[in-house]
Structure 1
Amino acid sequence: MSLNAVVHLNFRGQARGALEFYQSVFGGQTTVTTYGDFGMPAEAPDAAKVVFGQVVADNGFRVLAYDVPGDEIPVAEGEPTTRRENGTTITDEPFFLSVSGETVEEATGLWERLADGATVIEKFGPSPWAAGFGMLADRFGVTWIVDVAAGSAPA
């Protein structure tokens, strides 16, 4: 039996923008279905919101997202709730998304694209455990870890 765990992100009106952004970072195909597509009347306030969305890329990246019905809540302003202090990650968040490149160059490219509009928590660079590691909160408030795959630690 084979299992695949895929993150499903919940937004308040930003799902389409987030999916389009993640597709621009990771490539692949985006699928978006709205509440209206499932029969909600076009004049209903949530009709244009995403009830099901995903990005699937040939490189193995996959993410699901939807808009929770109801009032939109803007992305929080200010500092993310995650920070690095003395080499330790301090957070109240229940999860991070982690993506690993096979090479420093691949991971650097992902980092640079994800960092557009993001708050950098720890700048991408060499670390004791990987040839490249960084942490950021993207423009949608999702915290990402970008690193180079295991076994690539600096000598």
Structure 2
Amino acid sequence: MGISTVAHINLRGTAREALEFYRTVFGGDLVAVTYADAHSVPSPDEADQIMWGQVTSPEGFQIMAYDVPSSRPWSAGDSPFFVSVRGSDADEITGYWKRLSEGSAVVVELGPAGWAPLYGMVTDRFGVTWVLDVAINDR
């Protein structure tokens, strides 16, 4: 068990470029899942954009990024990040979700996703958007 907290940046159409840049700076491995890979294409011209991406280095650097779909409001610098809480235990993540979502605005209900067995998004009463998920061990 155990969890990690990672900055999750929100971009529009430049997530792959940003992740590749951060990998050149910090080293490590890049994993990128497109909307097409996840069978969740919001618009045909966004199929190859990043729905979930992450750079992780052996030294401990981690950053996540995605391309905000055109169906959602987005402006550079406004809501530029989420706080991502990742874990390996579904019960543990579900417990955090239940407590964190009380009195909060649920953006995406906790459930299976194309890149994770369990994923949810919630904006708390302070305006902070949290992403909780169960990490796949082979990524």
TM-score by length of 1: 0.43
Q: Considering only CA atoms, is the larger Rg found in Structure 1 or Structure 2?
A: 1
* Greater strand share, structure number: 2
* Structure with more relative contact order (C-alpha pairs < 8 Å, separation 6 or more): 2
